[in-house]
Amino acid sequence: SISKREMEEFGRLTGDQNPLHTDAEFCRSEGLFRLPVVHGMATLSFAMGVIDKAGVFRGTCLAFVDAKVTFIRPVYPGYALWAKLTVLRVIDHADKPYGFVEFLFEVKDAKTTVLLASLGILVKRRAAALKMGIG
């Protein structure tokens, strides 16, 4: 989950002080949300951290090169979040030491999907990874 303190730190770090993230009265008066919501990019970053800590890309990920993100539902501080990756396609570059993998990245809370992203990642080819002592 993302705590209120972490949400505030994200706002300070990025400069995003939109009242949707900082002002409960504004949220209620505008009828948008019942409380300030976590920044969408904070949700994406948090979930990427979960995937990183799980070691999913350890030793193989070279770079994130593409992302298309849809924010479906608000996330409130303290909500438990889960992340799921599904491989959509793999492109092998036979003449290069890397390939391209596109993933569907889903972030869910206890009830529903809150964020969907298509992520494109450059990954080391198996031979290159073995040469480097990885895999």
Segment 90-113, tens digit of pLDDT: 998 888 888 889 999 999 998 899
Cα Rg for the chain, rounded, in angstroms?
18
Segment 32-74, tens digit of pLDDT: 899 999 999 999 999 889 888 998 888 888 888 999 999 999 9
Number of domains making up the chain: 1
Which structural domain, as residue segments, surrounds residue 12?
4-131
At 2 the pLDDT is 95
At 132 the pLDDT is 44
Residue in the structure block whose two tokens are 């993100």: 69
At 115 the pLDDT is 85
Provide the 8-state DSSP code for 134: -
> CA–CA distance from 112 to each of 36, 75, 109, 126 (Å)?
19, 11, 6, 36
Beta pairing partners, 52: none
> Is the predicted pLDDT of residue 128 greater than 80, yes or no?
no
Structure tokens at 10: 């994200």
Where residue 39 sits, what CATH number does that domain have? 3.10.129.10
At 22 the pLDDT is 96
Measured CA to CA, the distance from residue 87 to residue 118 in angstroms comes to: 10
At 130 the pLDDT is 46
Provide the 8-state DSSP code for 50: H
